Amino acid sequence: MKIHYLNGRRLYRAMKAGARGLLRKHQHLNDINVFPVPDGDTGTNMASTVQKIASEIDSTKYQSIENVSEKIAISALEGARGNSGAILAQFFQGLAEGLEGKVRISTEHFAEAVKQAIDRSYDALSNPKEGTILSVIKDWGKHIQEKAKETNDFTELLKSSLVAAKESLKNTPKKLKVLQKAGVVDAGAQGFVYMLEGITQFIDSGAIREIENFNLSETTTQPNEGATIAYSTDSITYRYCTEFFLSGENISRDEIRKKLEPMGDSLIVAGSSSRVRVHIHTNDPRQVFNAVRTDGEIRQQKVDDMRQQHTDSRGNAAKSTIALLTDTSCDLPESFLREYNIHVIPIRVFFDGVEFLDKITIFPEEFYERLKKAKSFPKTSQPTPQDFVRIYQQLTNQYEAVISIHLAGKLSGTLQAAERAAKEVSEKTGKKIVVIDSRNTSVGLGLIMIEAGKAIKAGKALDEVVQIVENSIDHLRIFVSTDTVKYLVMGGRVSKGKGFLANLFDLVPVITVTPEGTTRKLGTAKKGIPVREKLLKLMDKQTRLYENRKFAIVHVAAPEIAEWYAKQIEEIFGKRAEFIMEASPALGAHAGPGAAAIAVLGT
């Protein structure tokens, strides 16, 4: 069938067909992903990008090609993930600029818009590399421009240009040594070709009803087309894949690029003067976010640990079939997180309206400094269900099951967000995701994660690991001493009247998290040594029946208090603390500087 023009409806159908083509094969893209880093997520990122486009353009499918292309560009920017996703977003931004003012277009008009899209794709990168998706976009686009002079039939144009794109794809290893060494084509370029194949197959078959009825949520991945590539983490110079969406007025992409270029590599600044998507690989996400806070409103912050992703996709955590996830309310030293390959999803922290990602763009030391100067009490917000969906999708791509253990459900909405997302991803993938309420927080949650990690490392089955976790939760208590009631009052956990009386008599509470997962005052004492001694007595009394007691300690900007507790525990109980560290904002924001907590785990 010959097609002599494109309008909004046809562009909508073509885009949906292209999304389907890519989504069905995205796991293969993960498997061959080695550039710019072998983190195994190119397919997932490109799938996320085109899925956002295809779901958002439904409402505009009967409008002009200008409107549909503009909606595609906006959706691509908002949904862009990863290096290739950001480039794809900028490609669609350029295409929309080229289609401005058009209701429907000829092949020659399309060729002009494609040229604009190629230029914008290259403009987005600080250091464009040939042998990537860029090369295939460029070679495909050049063929479009030449062939459009010979034909006014879109069917003929797109079928012949697909052949050119595939030829360009085959040549990507000749242009990048890293691809040649691994024996693969560029994953992003392959994804672009999969998208073109979906479009071309739709045009060739004319299966309009199939496209109209296509449900993106029901897309299943086809079997892998090749073995996973073994690749070293030595090529990962910068650890964190950092992305965000910036909105505002008169945003200068050039200025943002100049600010961020010294902070990492794989920098992409895509979008327009009012909407910008930034992607960068860096070792300091906090520095990146701080550099652009005055340029616009930062949204959709995302930071992925590419070394951990590599471990998942290439080494699979040294053979495990079970992934372990918690949130940043969990206090656990980096050494334990690495040893047991524990994944962590960040809680969001808001200071005077500015959003931070806990332990990624704001760390405890900075948090407590800001807490002293804050105009209003900081707020925390649980990860969204979509945050959980994204990480569950990543993990179920590499593992047979996920155990997800979180901050007490009665203290936060984190657990509910995890449960909703787990149900969605489990139904789609068929993988088991077990969400567990730790009924605890901070250092208590940390001790639970260690037990879970040990069980997984020992090769125990899923049900056995879950039982070990549940037993640990039943035999764990946490006790908190404070140095002031100021922050308990600010956070609304103590009334102003009680706070006044406590200050008047120099009294502070000892607080615990109950077995049901709620906070409760156990007693009060004079601040300083008296309240610490009170905590130790209450702790001993309430955990005396525990066998093989293990202890761990956190503090809120008070290392000397933590060390005092550690010394007392060693003298009284003959045990060394499993670890001592600074507490997360989940605990510290309410307890305030000078607070400390001890978790006790028994059998």
Report yes or no: 176 and 131 within 8 Å, Cβ to Cβ: yes
Q: Kindly state whether residue 277 falls inside one of the protein's structural domains.
A: no
Q: Which domain holds residue 401?
A: 320-347+382-473
pTM: 0.75
Same domain, yes or no, for 506 and 447? no
Q: Kindly state whether residue 355 falls inside one of the protein's structural domains.
A: no
Same domain, yes or no, for 411 and 545? no
Of the three residues 423, 439, 473, the one that is the final residue of a domain is 473
* Nearest in space to 23 (alpha carbons), one of 159, 228, 185, 198: 198
Confidence of residue 216 (pLDDT cuts 50, 70, 90): very low
Q: Which helix (H) or strand (E) holds 498?
A: helix 496-504
Q: Which residues pair with 524 in a beta bridge?
A: 509
Q: Kindly state whether residue 234 falls inside one of the protein's structural domains.
A: no
Same domain, yes or no, for 454 and 466? yes
The string of pLDDT tens digits covering residues 348-363 is 888 877 888 888 888 8
C-alpha distance from residue 479 to each of 438, 506, 534, 566 (Å): 15, 20, 11, 14
Q: Kindly state whether residue 48 falls inside one of the protein's structural domains.
A: yes
Phi-psi region of 593 (alpha: psi -120 to 50; beta: other; left: phi over 0): beta
Q: Kindly state whether residue 275 falls inside one of the protein's structural domains.
A: no
Same domain, yes or no, for 333 and 458? yes
Same domain, yes or no, for 33 and 175? yes
Of the three residues 196, 215, 234, the one that is the final residue of a domain is 215
* Nearest in space to 88 (alpha carbons), one of 121, 115, 56, 66: 121
Same domain, yes or no, for 38 and 148? yes
Residue the block writes with tokens 């909508």: 12
C-alpha distance from residue 153 to each of 2, 68, 92, 140, 406 (Å): 6, 21, 22, 17, 56
- Res 213 pLDDT > 90: no
Mean per-residue pLDDT over the chain, rounded: 87
Residue 535: give its domain's CATH number.
3.30.1180.10
* Nearest in space to 564 (alpha carbons), one of 533, 534, 540, 586: 533
Total domain count, the chain: 3
Q: Which helix (H) or strand (E) holds 324?
A: strand 322-327
Could you give the CA distance from residue 542 to residue 561 in angstroms, rounded to a whole number?
22
Could you give the CA distance from residue 513 to residue 293 in angstroms, rounded to a whole number?
37
* Nearest in space to 184 (alpha carbons), one of 35, 67, 297, 308: 35
Could you give the CA distance from residue 310 to residue 49 in angstroms, rounded to a whole number?
21
Residue 402: give its domain's CATH number.
3.40.50.10440
Of the three residues 473, 508, 524, the one that is the final residue of a domain is 473
Residue 81: give its domain's CATH number.
1.25.40.340
- Res 379 pLDDT > 90: no
The string of pLDDT tens digits covering residues 85-120 is 889 999 999 999 999 999 999 999 999 999 999 999
